Amino acid sequence: MNSSVRAVIFDVDGTLYDYRTHSVPLSAQEALGRLRERGLRIIVASGRSYALLGESLVQLLQADHYVLSNGHELLDQGGRPVYQERFTLEETEGLLGTARRHGVNVMLKYHGFCCVYAGWDEMRSVFRMMDPDQGSYRFCPEWNYHSQELPLGFTLKGGPNLRQQLADWETALRIEYFTDPSECDVFHHSANKWTGLERILSQEGLQPEQCIAFGDSGNDVDMLRSVGCGIAMGNGSPAAKAAAAQVCRPSWEDGIYHALRELAVI
């Protein structure tokens, strides 16, 4: 059994969570159980907010730490925030102004819920396969909730020209487009999954080389190339595969389970 690994990090969507079955495969659940039996740390790193994870998924994962909203929020085992980096008022209102001018639908991420400013049905359809709790969304057609509480992140849904419409923001903010390029997450260059993981590893006295990370998308690139062994899913993006040390089977072919077995971690 490989004794050099002390923590395993998982992206959620397209990695732990299989879109084909809308669930975490049984093989991945078994792998999580075996990691716990060995006393290894389980860390979830996702673009989802805590609200978008949903209680059932949190209970299933039983992670030791969470890096959510693309590194803008770190949570402890009980789902309590231990660090948050919010967007400034200037960034928030500037991005919202761009969205309004171009008719882009907007969702702001907060710890306990997501606030939809425009496109209630459209924004919920972006996450239709995630099955978050019903109370995960609030509608604010006045576009003013951020004056009470600044957001931890944004998800935008526009049309085929979304990339062009957001071009002026690509220097100031990091924009990761989904498989559907009319949808994206927006977060800071200074706050991503890896910067959040660095904080947790330092807190736990762990070194990057003692970690394995699984991911499938552009927002996983930083962590995949920074840990001891970054593994891209077979269903992952070209960017994720290029950043990883190896590529495993797709999520629907029990990729996580087989990779951890081959590395003698479970």
**Tens digits of residue pLDDT in 112-170:** 999 999 999 888 888 765 555 667 899 999 999 999 999 999 999 999 999 999 999 99
- Give the mean pLDDT of 174-196: 95
**Tens digits of residue pLDDT in 220-241:** 999 999 999 999 999 999 999 9
DSSP bridge partners of 68: 73
Q: What is the CA radius of gyration of the chain?
A: 18
Predicted pLDDT at 182: 96
Predicted pLDDT at 134: 65
Helices (H), 6-119: 26-38, 50-53, 55-61, 89-102
Q: CATH class for domain 7-84+191-262?
A: alpha beta
Q: Count Cβ atoms within 10 A of the Cβ of residue 16 and give its class: 0-12 exposed, 13-18 middle, 19 or more buried.
A: buried
Cα–Cα dist 199/32, whole Å:
23
Predicted pLDDT at 233: 98
Cα–Cα dist 74/93, whole Å:
24
Provide the residue ranges of all domains of the chain, joining segments of one domain with +.
7-84+191-262, 89-187
Give the contacts of 116 (CB within 8 A, at least 6 positions apart): 105, 106, 107, 123, 124, 137, 138, 139, 140
- At residue 63, does pLDDT exceed 80? yes
Predicted pLDDT at 258: 98
- At residue 201, does pLDDT exceed 70? yes
99 pLDDT band, cuts 50/70/90, is: very high
Predicted pLDDT at 133: 62
Predicted pLDDT at 2: 80
**Tens digits of residue pLDDT in 5-29:** 999 999 999 999 998 888 999 999 9
What three-state secondary structure class fits 266?
Answer: coil
The reply to whether CATH 3.40.50.620 applies to domain 89-187 is: no
